[in-house]
Amino acid sequence: MLKLLMLIGFALQSVAGWTATQTPFTPNVYLGSALAKQPNETRGQKLFQQYCVQCHQVGAVGLAAQNIPALAGQHSDYLIKQVVDFLDQERVNTTMHQQLVRSGLNNATSIADVVGYVANLPINSAPQYGSGKQLEQGKQIYEGFCASCHGQRAEGNGDLWVPNLRGQHYGYLLEQMLSMATAQRTNVSDDLHRMFTTYTESEFVVVADYLSRWQPD
Q: What spatial distance separates the first Cα and last Cα of the chain, rounded to whole Å?
A: 29
Residue from the set 207, 209, 212, 214 that interacts with ligand HEC by CB under 6 A: 207
Quote the CA–CA distance of 213 and 46 in Å, as a whole number: 31
Cβ-contact 63, 71 below 8 angstroms: no
**Least distance between ligand HEC and beta carbon 24 (Å):** 25
**Rg, C-alpha atoms of the chain:** 17
In the bound state with ligand HEC, the residue whose beta carbon lies nearer, of 114 and 121, is 114
166 binds ligand HEC (CB under 6 A): no
37 contact partners, CB below 8 Å, separation of at least 6:
108, 109, 112
Measured CA angle at 77 (ends 15, 151), to 5 deg: 115
**Least distance between ligand HEC and beta carbon 111 (Å):** 8
Cβ-contact 150, 109 below 8 angstroms: no
In the bound state with ligand HEC, the residue whose beta carbon lies nearer, of 7 and 162, is 162
In the bound state with ligand HEC, the residue whose beta carbon lies nearer, of 73 and 163, is 163
Strand partners, 63: 68
Binding segment for ligand HEC (CB under 6 A), chosen from 5-13, 14-22, 122-130, 141-149, is 141-149
30 binds ligand HEC (CB under 6 A): no
Strand partners, 68: 63
Residue from the set 22, 23, 38, 148 that interacts with ligand HEC by CB under 6 A: 148
**Least distance between ligand HEC and beta carbon 197 (Å):** 11
Quote the CA–CA distance of 15 and 123 in Å, as a whole number: 38
177 binds ligand HEC (CB under 6 A): yes
146 binds ligand HEC (CB under 6 A): yes
Cβ-contact 177, 208 below 8 angstroms: yes
- Measure Cα distances from 165 to 25, 171, 197, 215 in Å: 33, 13, 19, 10
**Least distance between ligand HEC and beta carbon 137 (Å):** 12
Residues 80-139 that bind ligand HEC (CB under 6 A): 81-83, 93, 95-96, 99, 103, 105, 114
Quote the CA–CA distance of 113 and 119 in Å, as a whole number: 10
69 binds ligand HEC (CB under 6 A): yes
Binding site for ligand HEC (CB under 6 A): 51-52, 54-56, 68-69, 71, 79, 81-83, 93, 95-96, 99, 103, 105, 114, 141, 145-146, 148-150, 161-163, 165, 173, 176-177, 187-188, 192, 195, 207
